[in-house]
Chain A
Amino acid sequence: MGLKPATNPDVEAVRIELSIDGKSVTAQDGVSLYDVISMTGKIIPAMCYHYTFDPFGSCGMCLVMQEGKKAPVRSCTAKAAAGMVIRTEGEDLFLARKKAVEKHLSVHPLDCPVCDADGHCELQDMAFQHGVTNLASAKQKFIPEDTRSPVLDFNMNRCIACAECINVCKDVLMIDALQFMKKGGFNQVVPKGDLALDCEFCGDCLAVCPVGAITNKFSKYLYKPWQMKTTTTTCNYCGDGCQLHLETKDEEVVRVTSPLSWKNKWGDRSETAKGHGGLCVRGRFGFENLDSKSRLTQPLVREGGQLVQKPWLDTMDLLVGRFTEIKRQYGADAIAGLVTARCTNEELYLFQKLMRTVFGTNQLDSSARYGHMNFVLASKHAVGLGRTPNDWEDLTKAKAIILIGSNITETNPLTAVRIKEALRVYKAQVVTLDSAITNIAKLASHPFLIKPGTEGAVIDGLVKAAIDQDFVDEETVGKHPHAFEALRSAVADVSLERLAVQTGLSVEAFCEIAAIFAESTRSIILCAEGIVRRTNGYQNVLKLMDLAWITGKLGRTGCGVNTVTEEPNEQGAVDMGVAPEFFPGQARFDDPAARDRFARAWEAPLPPTASSAHLVEILKRCKSGQIKALYVLGENPLATLPASMEVRAGLERLELLVVQDPFLTDTAKMAHCVLPACTYAEKDGTFTNLEGRVLRVRQAMDPLGESLPDWHIMTALANAMGCRWEYQSPNDIQAEIMKLLPGYYNLSQPRTVTPVPDQYLSTGYETEVKARYRPTPLSGELTRPFALLMGQVLMHSGKLSTQASGLITIAPNTGKLRMNIQDMERLGLQDGVKVRLISDRGSLQLGVQPDQSIAPGTCFFPEHFNEPPVKDLMTVSVDATTGVPSFKQIWVSIEQV
């Protein structure tokens, strides 16, 4: 339609002048007239318009009078042109709009009493505003309701054919799961091909539907919009940190709505670069765990091999006694703690303070250790910045994006939407390098399929290609000639041809990717689980830094090496110092100045650096009997780590295992004492998302049963242990963090820090880089031909989402191994056939199912489910520098049973 927003940074749109209601207005050429009018603050009713996508022009409400034309024109589909004289008000226009409403009303059923949208319905608003009474001829449609999809019901009797759902799906999300179809004499919205809806189920169509034509199955008929209490909070599922509205009625969460809604349809199109306000399936439909029946509501204490309910007072008394006893008997180093990155910043801060000052141990870690620490430590080492340098806006406006080892539409769906917008609006070149046929690869301009586990080799190739093809930015490398020389000699032995065989990419592909990356003005690398959660993650991130450095992208606006986080607050966990290496603010734990500062601030002696231990080390020490008491806050190492880690044996040796969790997890079942914690809906606080933005978490309901927020429990514990912590609310903790880390709470504003690699390049780089590009031996004839990968799927996040019944309905645990259809045919396997999966660690039997996103030679099992325990086939390799355990990939063979 040619009405693309003129917000592309490369395009300088012509300014034109036109007159609206007698006032002269300047606007960009070629944008929709409707946008220009709404920019002046004048709101014309429109039912099919939404600023996130191009005007469609079906509702016929946005009529304006243009001088020189007899009939009113639809302002949304009209382009603003110089010299236009527009009138937006008047009796004639009111009547014309009224007629348009009447047209929609005349085929609308009398459904208000039962419709979920009643009270939040644009058609109602319009009819009421325009005073429609006495329709001449009303005709009903009588279309059967489409209830085939597990999530959404389509009631096409109520549809006004505004196509907002189709447009948002096609344009913004690029999923294209809906279409119009003429059926029964009416234009109806149906899932593609009129089959049962099968899509990403992000529910943005539901959000933009101005009437009740699309309804949510999980809250259908349970509510009316006016009954709900709305709390704006931050999503708890992934690191995107989407804002969402939890709508509660009494003490239950009825539904989740997004800032994206037909209600706020007037906006600046360029603002969507910061996010379009939508949600993904997890955020929108994964709310049922919040008030689920399986929540813990009372403390549990192990008595005679059984966990029995106990009052808080007795439990705390017992706990304090045991902790004091263990500390007295074995010393502070007998205590360790693990925390999940799903806690708020305040709680994470409190946790490390509790471990370090109250228990006096530096054996603590968070779930950021499962991968994000690789990136943080590498980035901190190289450029002095322990987080991602770019925000969503940079990502959207990038001209070249290399997505390496990232199935981003599944792990971080809303970051993926940013990349989709980069593709669609800003015409970015997107290179995907992954061993699976990912969703984003289908949309990307340069999708490449690589062999599993060769991400590191691919980067070697890219660095080599960049140097060989002279994509080197002379100015940048000129500042550190020795470093560049060291790098050049390090990659001298690297052979692109050999890498091509190893990775499955062609030599030309290496050169092409390097060219795309180097020649774009705004280039971003996004590495995710394929890099940071696999072996050599730390080195691979540093290699990416090298690539960015030599091409001159390090430190330049809109460029950088980024990652995404799996849990909502992994960045916050690192920032709050829940890692043996770090104090809050990522100050080194062994830095005497920092030690001094924090010891004074906390008025307590700090544990020595020598006994520090990270996750893997803690589990090892548990097993060796060195650690006697483990305080596990929301973490679930037993269900996460493969059996080869011998977590169970370690936990069994403990004298005291305390688990604090909203649910009775596998780890909690082994605990001596289980404390019921609250979910994020029941507490205040903040999350730090993957951009480094600090986002508010707000309390939407009272704690369920006798559960308490984590900060409350920790404060009580610390006070019982003889400290004087006077935190009355998360605000008090925030105040303390603010004092220690000034400027951390710049709420919703990402802090802009330019990455500076100079220190890194000038000292020690030469020795370091030599070892980095050592070629990995070519794997010869494989005894085990398949790469078994474990990873996230879109509908789930960690183990938490398995408690959300809605998400389980959408994506239940099939218990089947996902394989490429060609592989299955080759092995003669049918869907559902049982196979034996054999790795070096052992074997198990399970069914197989075909999956289009699985590349030949690989097979996949979602990491969220342990039934069957596929994870136990994995071996664990621990990164020497960062201590990150990687256990998501292994070679297996598959035999039909």
Chain B
Amino acid sequence: MAFEDQRTTVYKVNPEHPESETLPTLRTEELLLNMGPQHPSTHGVLKVILELEGERLVKSTPVMGYLHRGVEKLAEDGTYHQFIPHTDRLDYVCAMYNNFAYCRAVEKLLNLQVPERAEYLRTIVAEVQRIIGHQFWLSAQALDIGAMTVFFYCFRDREILLDWFDELCGARLTTSWYRIGGVERDLTPSLIDKLKQFLDYFLPKIDEYQVFLEKNRIWLGRTKGVAVISAEDAVSFGLSGPVLRGSGVDYDLRKYEPYSAYPKCEFSVPVGKNGDTYDRYWIRVMELYESVKIIRQCLEQMQEGPVMADVPSVTLPPKERVFTNLEAMIQQFKLFSQGFDAPPGEVYCGTEAHKGELGFYIVSTGGGKPYRLKIRAPSFIHMGAFDHMARGYMISDACTIFGTYDIVMGECDR
């Protein structure tokens, strides 16, 4: 109804200037459209105000904060150790990587050396998490664009890995498996077997996913040349991960600031050319192959050894010693009630999560709690480029563009 009214007023001669003999011009105006926060393809509770000219996007303003929980503030309230479960809830589909990035930042602050086996375990699990992340992205992106089948197949395989997580740490999503100074528990032989089995099973499945998409003309039509961003723009928007590499920038923290067991593994970093959605899709699929490669190498190279650093002032004592040994008991009580004494200082540590660079910036003034903790969440940074990348595309492409960032609101709003 509102439309009708507007149209009638449009043709009116300006009443204030009746003498103006100019022809009544057709007044056009942009249509504001609220997309979200309850839209199925906004991957959570994202709201975007789209300014439309017909079906073309003129301007889009993301409105964030619907899932804000004050996680950064919560970090100031607890010990460093207590924040690990909170990181699970940032990017809730890939909790392991958040744990990993956070623990690395704290370890950097403490200058703590992690045992070698723990490094391998961390790498393995992080890559498993990357597979899960990309599977999840692929299924969601395909579903957004209209390909339902891939969604089912991805989730089928993802389920196997989530159950594997459950067996590893007791939870499928909110894992909290990484610890400052190592990991909570070692892989059991049965877990290693299961992982190996999965990898063998999984490689042909990647091809299977591609059958549905690679040559599908709808998929190509919806992704090729959509949401193109040039390498310069991508860099200046601070994009990272597959979104950056899709534009041809060969930047991967695993290669350029090698950490954990990555330097000991051989793998390549797929880089796109056109900076469009299709390239980003291609990179993620290629990374699935690379992840499998990395996991296999790690499983092969891994030696027996401890999985937690033995630094009494930071890491927990083995539980059986707590029962009998006063020093261990004291250590246990001090660490849980007051936390370890972090040196004063500031530290930033970025980690290549499957979405991009996940960074934790910690300011410590000494004592058991961080003074300030800032999370550089790739989803949030990527949303900054949304307007730039969406301008001029069709309204239906908006979903594609959300999807191409692999956005998760838990991380975006924090």
Contacts and interface: CB of A to CB of B under 8 A. Distances in A.
Q: Do chains A and B touch in the complex (CB under 8 A)?
A: yes
Interface of A: 105, 108-110, 112-113, 118-119, 123-125, 127-129, 131-135, 138, 224, 226
A425 B179 CA distance: 55
A131 B312 contact: yes
Given A108-B326, A133-B328, 20 more contacts: A110-B325, A110-B326, A110-B329, A112-B330, A118-B337, A119-B333, A119-B338, A124-B330, A124-B333, A125-B334, A128-B313, A128-B330, A128-B334, A131-B313, A132-B327, A133-B317, A133-B327, A133-B331, A135-B325, A138-B326
Given A119-B337, A128-B331, A226-B338, A133 B312 contact: yes
Contacts of B324: 110
B337 A105 contact: no
Contacts of B325: 110, 134-135, 138
Interface of B: 312-313, 317, 324-334, 337-338
B366 to A, nearest CB: 13
A119 B338 CA distance: 8
A109 B312 CA distance: 20
Contacts of A131: 312-313
A118 B333 contact: yes
A135 B326 contact: yes
A112 B328 contact: no
Nearest to A126: B330
A738 B326 CA distance: 56
Contacts of A119: 333-334, 337-338
A113 to B, nearest CB: 8
Most buried by A among B324, B337, B338: B337
Most buried by B among A109, A127, A138: A127
SS class, residues of chain B in contact with chain A: helix
Most buried by A among B313, B317, B326, B338: B326
5 nearest A-B residue pairs (beta carbon): A128-B334, A119-B337, A226-B337, A132-B327, A131-B312
A124 B334 contact: yes
26 contacts: A105-B326, A105-B327, A110-B324, A112-B326, A112-B332, A112-B333, A113-B329, A113-B333, A118-B333, A118-B337, A119-B333, A119-B337, A123-B330, A124-B334, A127-B326, A128-B331, A131-B313, A133-B312, A133-B317, A133-B327, A133-B328, A133-B331, A135-B326, A138-B326, A224-B337, A226-B338
Nearest to A140: B326
Nearest to A121: B330
A780 to B, nearest CB: 72
Nearest to B317: A133
Nearest to B335: A128
A134 B329 contact: no
Nearest to B332: A112
B18 to A, nearest CB: 58
A98 B308 CA distance: 24
A132 B332 CA distance: 13
A393 to B, nearest CB: 35
A144 to B, nearest CB: 20
Contacts of A113: 329, 333
A109 B334 CA distance: 16
B327 A135 contact: yes
Contacts of A109: 326
A127 B328 CA distance: 10
Contacts of B317: 133
A112 B329 contact: yes
A274 B317 CA distance: 45
Contacts of A124: 330, 333-334
A113 B327 CA distance: 13
A110 B337 CA distance: 17
A128 B332 CA distance: 10
A346 to B, nearest CB: 33
A156 B270 CA distance: 68
Contacts of B337: 118-119, 224, 226
A119 B339 CA distance: 11
Contact of A134 (B327, B333, B334, B338): B327
Contacts of B329: 110, 112-113
Contacts of B331: 127-128, 133
Nearest to A123: B330
A128 to B, nearest CB: 5
A129 to B, nearest CB: 8
Contacts of B327: 105, 127, 132-135
Contacts of A108: 326
Most buried by B among A108, A113, A133: A133
Most buried by A among B325, B331, B333: B333
Contacts of A118: 333, 337
B334 to A, nearest CB: 5
A103 to B, nearest CB: 13
Contacts of A125: 334
Contact of B330 (A127, A134, A226): A127
Nearest to B323: A110
A134 to B, nearest CB: 7
Contacts of A135: 325-327
Nearest to A115: B333
Contacts of A138: 325-326
A727 B16 CA distance: 56
A124 B312 CA distance: 13
Nearest to A102: B327
A645 B414 CA distance: 71
A113 B332 CA distance: 10
Nearest to B333: A112
A123 B313 CA distance: 15
B378 to A, nearest CB: 36
Contacts of A105: 326-327
A105 B331 CA distance: 13
Nearest to B328: A133
A134 B332 CA distance: 14
A224 B338 CA distance: 12
Contacts of A133: 312, 317, 327-328, 331
Most buried by B among A105, A112, A226: A112
Nearest to A106: B326
Most buried by A among B312, B324, B332: B312
B27 to A, nearest CB: 54
B316 to A, nearest CB: 12
B321 to A, nearest CB: 9
Contacts of A110: 324-326, 329
A660 to B, nearest CB: 40
B183 to A, nearest CB: 21
A626 B334 CA distance: 68
A163 B234 CA distance: 69
Contacts of B328: 133
Contacts of A112: 326, 329-330, 332-333
B261 to A, nearest CB: 28
A284 B328 CA distance: 33
A127 to B, nearest CB: 5
A134 B317 CA distance: 11
A131 B325 CA distance: 14
A112 B336 CA distance: 12
A626 B110 CA distance: 78
A758 B293 CA distance: 100
A135 B330 CA distance: 13
Contacts of B338: 119, 226
A114 to B, nearest CB: 11
